[in-house]
Amino acid sequence: MSAPLVIAVDGPAASGKGTIAARLAAWLGLPYLDTGLLYRAVGMAVLRAGGDLDDTGLAARMARDLKLEALCDPELIGRAAGEAASRVAFHPEVRAELLKLQKDFAGQPGGAVLDGRDIGTVIAPDAPVKLYVTADPEVRARRRWLQLTGRGEAVDFETVLADIRKRDARDAGRDAAPMTRAHDAVLLDTSLMDIEAAFDAARRIVETARAEAGLS
């Protein structure tokens, strides 16, 4: 029997990694977890409790008490949730609380697809297929701006670009599980690709990696 097919998809905000990961999962019939939603849900829980995002203890308690139903909240897609997520994700104690759930998901016997910032480095370092999806900050900001304004959020492009740059710096610069490309992750720059082209490129990367790893 061959090893389970685990696909780790990492990259910065609005690079399109979630779109790619979800489509890979549907194509392969694998379960999919958007791990950013976990941090978004914790951040929103802290904000809704009137708490301070820098309060490590409170954020860690919210992470410990997180219910999976919370991931269905449409507010998690919003700008406030993205910023709050990056703030609580900074705390190692929060990351520790969310670790087991993610590792268990990645360890399912039939395989899985996960996307985030530390999937290929921390959550599933032995994944046979790893992608690091990126795009220029301006391209990502435009995608995010279209997404946010499309759902009715009034925000200008420059604000979204500033958010993206700040979030990139915080996510890549933190000590705990920083956003980084795993040494064995294949880089996929989607700056000049539409969604179909990006998915096709990702599918080819997966097919090559599967063949190299001898996975059926």
Ligand X SMILES: Nc1ncnc2c1ncn2[C@@H]1O[C@H](COP(=O)(O)OP(=O)(O)OP(=O)(O)O)[C@@H](O)[C@H]1O
Q: Which residues bind ligand L45E5XJ5 (CB under 6 A)?
A: 13, 35-36, 39-40, 82, 85-86, 89, 116-118, 167, 171
Binder of residue 111, out of ligand L45E5XJ5, ligand X, none (CB less than 5 to 8 A by kind): none
Collapsing DSSP states into helix, strand and coil, what is residue 1? coil
β-bridge partners, 189? 134
Q: Does 195 bind ligand X (CB under 6 A)?
A: yes
Q: In what order do the strands lie in the sheet with 32-34?
A: 32-34, 112-116, 6-10, 129-134, 186-189
Answer for which of 51, 79, 147, 180 binds ligand X (CB under 6 A) is: 147
Asked if 9 and 181 touch (Cβ cutoff 8 Å), the reply is no
Name the residue nearer to ligand X (CB basis): 79 or 210: 79
137 makes contact, choosing from ligand X, ligand L45E5XJ5, none, with CB < 5 to 8 Å by partner type, with none
- Block residue for tokens 């998690």: 76
Please list every residue from 97 through 126 that binds ligand X, using CB under 6 A.
Answer: none
Query: Is residue 79 within 8 Å of 163, Cβ to Cβ?
Result: yes
Task: Measure the CA–CA gap between 150 and 132, rounded to whole angstroms.
Answer: 26
Q: Which residues are annotated as a binding site?
A: 11-19
Q: Which residues bind ligand X (CB under 6 A)?
A: 11, 13-19, 36, 82, 143, 147, 190, 193-195, 198
